[in-house]
Structure 1
Amino acid sequence: MKWTSVDLQKYNQAKEYIDTVIVPLAPFQIGALEASAKNADQYDILTLFARELEKELMGRIMLAPTYTYIVTAEKSEEVKRLNSWTDHFKKQPFKQVLYISFDPSWRKIANDLEGEFIWLPTASLKGAEPAAVKGIIRDQTMQTVELIKSFW
């Protein structure tokens, strides 16, 4: 289920079955064109990937809105904010709170998060044919689905 009014109504009727929330983490910056463009591309891919995860695990997960942060932000402050999100989610009650990102800087502080962190390695999809992009996203989705199931 996604963060839409229709899906939230469905969630409200089936709360006892939906025990996991997934929060995509996406860096944001405007400045150096190359770095900004890379972040924008990763945001698009992360959005596609998160939607594929939601489709694959529908009925078991809620896909939260993407948590967007400025690249240069102090990560300890972002951890505090994310931990407050985790606290909020666990009161709903979600048993599992999973954060997903292509940003490897989260790996260094993942133990400080009260939810679980899943780092996703990125593949350069720039210039790839749409069918190839879809295949790559699908492959990574299926691998991640197996990892998520291990939390259950």
Structure 2
Amino acid sequence: MKWNPQDIETFLQSKEYVDTAVLPLLPVAFDSEMGQAAGMSEFITLVTGQLERQFKGRLLLLPGFSYLKTCEEEKLFTDLLLWESQLKESGFSHIFYLTSDLFWKSAESRLDGSLIWIPSIPLETMQEAQKISVVESQVKQMLTLFTGKWHEKE
């Protein structure tokens, strides 16, 4: 389910079946890393959109957690841990963070949720059909990861 009024209405009616939240981590930069950050954000947005289509009814895709690459590390964690706390209090037993920013890998142990780091694939030169194929391939690789995490807590 996506973060839109129609899907949220469905979510509220069937909340007991939706135990998974997906939060894309989207970097923003205004320096020499601007293009790279935009590419990472585009890629993760496409991957999480396809992931939501695969698991519609089981997960809620949240709007991306956008952050400045220049932001102080502790502030980023404080903000993200606040999201995590709210999601747990709201009944989500599985929280997945998806990112292409290697920064988050170094701090994975600080999160209770599952961090999935996917190297960004430059999509800007690809035809639309190629983009879809690449994204679908990435999502197929993640399916077993998601189902594995779900079975761990059952």
TM-score relative to the length of structure 2: 0.93
**Offset from partner CA, 1:30-59 (integer Å, 9 cap, x none):** 122xx2112112211211111100000111
Does 1:31 find its partner at 2:57?
A: no
Alignment partner, residue 92 of structure 2? 94
TM-score (norm 1): 0.94
Identity, in percent, stands at 29
Deviations 1:59-113 (A, max 9, x none): 1000011000100112222111111111101111100111110001100001011
Q: Are 2:39 and 2:122, in contact at CA under 8 Å, matched by a contact in 1?
A: no
Q: What is the match of residue 110 of structure 1?
A: 108
Aligned length: 150
- Structure 1 unaligned regions, length at least 5: none
Check conservation: 1:18, 1:60, Cα contact below 8 A: yes
- Rounded to whole Å, the distance in 2 between the matches of 1:145 and 1:121 is 17
**Structure 2: 5+ residue stretches without partners:** none
Contact 1:57 1:145 in 2 (8 A): no
Runs of 4+, deviation exceeding 3 Å:
none
Question: How far 1:12 moved relative to its partner?
Answer: 0.5
Alignment partner, residue 59 of structure 1: 57
Q: Name the residue aligned to 1:127.
A: 125
Q: What is the alpha-carbon distance in structure 1 between the residues aligned to residue 140 and residue 73 of structure 2?
A: 29
